[in-house]
A and B are shown apart, each in its own frame.
Chain A
Amino acid sequence: MIEIKDLHKSYQIGKNSLHVLKGINFNVKEGELVSIMGSSGSGKSTLLNILGMLDEADSGSYTLDGVPIKNLNEKIAARYRNKFLGFIFQSFNLINYKSALDNVALPLYYQGMKRSERMERSMSYLEKVGLADWASHKPNELSGGQKQRVAIARALASDPKVLLADELTGALDSKTSYEIMDLIQQINDEGKTILVVTHEEDIAQMTKRIVNLKDGVIIDDSPTKQVRAIQHV
């Protein structure tokens, strides 16, 4: 699903150039649940941004579902993001003046889907994350866990190839974190490819494979025995 070869990325800070990614080689197959770990400054967020087409690598190749991702202009990047990727953020990033349902429907709006179809489909995803009764509520009327569920429903709405989650439990207490991870595991069980960036060991243990990043290189990449989050709930 994802193939990355010899990826380099450096940022220019004043006169100094900061080499963040120093040759990343990394593959993800369909249906995997991978966590990317590393301390801050290890380059994990940069890697996720490149995978999310929010940022572009200096060199190296990136292929997503057989499509080479390079020389993107804003228009194509936007279309690919809409088609291939679902984002889940630490701070949820819901639009706070829109209802939960409208938030979920937004990616479908940008796909050009008709309103009635859009609403129907969004509702089914809200049901999936267990928030059908909260469809007309605004984000500020929801708890953190509920907000993250809405965000997950939104990420799923456009039926992307890959879900990218950036510290998705970072703003949640452990109980809620495990509930969210349970949902992520269920979605993965249905066959969705998911990448989770985290620095929490227990969250990483709930994935199927842990990639450890340090100073811009992968120091460890090994499968792990998945801990089912449901045991902790």
Chain B
Amino acid sequence: MFSIERWQEVFETISKNKLRTFLTGVSVASGIFILVILLGVGKGMQNGVEEQFEQDATNRISIYTGVTKVEYKGMNPGRRIQLKNDDYQFIDENFGENLEYQSSVYRIWGSLASYKNNSGNYRIEGVYPDNQFLENASIIQGRFINQNDLKNKEKHIAIGRKVRDDLFKDEDPVGKLVEISNLKFKVVGVYTDPGGEREETRLFLPITTAQSVFGGGNNISYLAFTLPKEDDYEVALKKSNAFVNEVSTNLKAKHTVAPNDDSAISINNSLENAKQFYDLNNIIRLFFWGVGVMTLLAGIVGVSNIMLIIVKERTKEIGIRKAIGAQPMSIVGMVLHESIFVTTISGFFGLIFALFLLEFVGPFIESEFITNPSVDFNVAISTVILLVISGAVAGFFPAWRGARIKPIDALRDE
């Protein structure tokens, strides 16, 4: 493989047949190019889908209440079930140590907030400090609501980035006072949420403050939890389903709701949705690899075809070589060497070109379903390995055929 003679031979045949080698190279290069671009776009679609799911923590479990639909213990359907603070306490006492984050939320759908001459209508949510993580929000200025705010019923708010842009323009909002329902609230921080604008037009304040200021009493709108992350998806799903079942049974008993009445107390487990997300991602990945590999296969068949022609053309030469003592294996090596060399070099060109394109054009593609198409190092490495293997596969059959050429047939004068 590494003898100078062999390399010289490969270069000699290549330089003797520039056009043929060039065309072979183009077919492999375009195969690899398309494969890498497809994988990049596939990754972009995964990123896009991921972003759609990222608006909340992926393992979030939310508990909502509604109106009973089933008659139970002598009570008519149509009863409205209201979650109270003691429901939160109940879950905290019984399951608290198994939970990663927990919060109850008291929500006011729309409320006018103003600062100086600017104002807007925003959703207001009274929450626990943990809610930051349940929402998958990250702080870009100041801080989120903390335990002290909660304990002292402070009139402190954390605002979304969109709210900041609306009300404060270029001003630094931290420490400024925002007026809501004639009350002044101090901004303690600004958050951003991967869920986008809809999730960033909210104001968070301590639930204790929200309940007393906006007349909520002990009422809460919904509960949200996450369980600690597990490495294995199936284990995570099992644990969260067990938790959901137990909480559901207990809450339904507490509120005298029929065990099968899911409209009175409904639990939304994001992890179940996450399964669809994982599946979708797998399908996207499989699809793009499939199409890409097929394209590459077309390229390989092209190379193989051309190598067959090369072997055919060199029949006489191979006959001469065999007559003067070439072993069959050395003929196989010669043909394979050339084929692997051509596929690898041209494949690298395709790979580099595709990577450049993804690197420089990729970031400009900003649509709802494709975000930052790119390929990671592992994918690049696997395509390189794929290249070498495909070169070997493409060369093998022609090489085998070459090795079987009988010198007596090859040398027979035409």
Whether A52 touches B325, Cβ cut-off 8 Å, given contacts A95-B317, A97-B12, A115-B4, is no
Let me know if A111 is at the binding interface, CB within 8 A: yes
**A106 lies within 8 A of chain B by Cβ:** yes
20 more contacts with CB within 8 A, not counting A110-B325, A158-B325, are A49-B408, A74-B327, A74-B403, A79-B325, A81-B322, A81-B323, A81-B324, A81-B325, A82-B325, A91-B413, A93-B316, A94-B320, A95-B317, A97-B12, A97-B16, A106-B324, A110-B321, A110-B327, A111-B325, A154-B324
Question: CB distance B413 to A78 under 8 Å?
Answer: no
Q: List 7 A-B contacts (CB under 8 A).
A: A49-B408, A54-B407, A78-B326, A79-B327, A82-B324, A87-B323, A106-B324
| A78 with B16: CB separation less than 8 A | no
- Flag if A78 contacts B406 (CB, 8 Å): no
* Residue in contact with B408 in the complex, picked from A54, A83, A91, A158, CB distance below 8 Å: A54
Q: For residue B6, which residue of chain A has the nearest CB? A: A109
Nearest-Cβ distance from residue B51 to partner chain A, whole angstroms: 58
Q: Are A106 and B321 in contact, with the CB atoms below 8 A?
A: yes
**Does A107 reach chain B (CB closer than 8 Å)?**
yes
Q: A127 on the interface (CB 8 Å rule)?
A: no
CB contacts (< 8 Å) of A82 on chain B: these are: 324-325
- Top 6 nearest A-B pairs (CB, nearest first) are A82-B325, A54-B408, A110-B325, A107-B324, A93-B320, A78-B327
Bound Cα distance from A111 to B329, whole angstroms:
14
Measured CA separation A93–B317 after assembly (Å): 8
Considering only CB atoms, which chain A residue lies closest to B321 in the complex?
A: A106
User: In the assembly, what is the distance between CA of A52 and CA of B319, in Å?
Assistant: 13
Name A69-107 residues within 8 Å CB distance of B: 74-75, 78-79, 81-83, 87, 89-91, 93-95, 97-98, 106-107
Q: Is A55 an interface residue (CB 8 A)?
A: yes
* Alpha-carbon distance A189/B317, docked complex (angstroms): 32
A155 to B164, CA, bound (A): 90
Is B5 part of the binding interface, using a Cβ–Cβ cutoff of 8 Å? yes
0 or 1 for each of B372-414: is its CB under 8 Å from A? (1 = yes): 0000000000000000000000000000000100111001010
Q: How many Å from the CB of B321 to the closest CB on chain A?
A: 7
Structural contact, A54 and B323, CB atoms closer than 8 A: yes
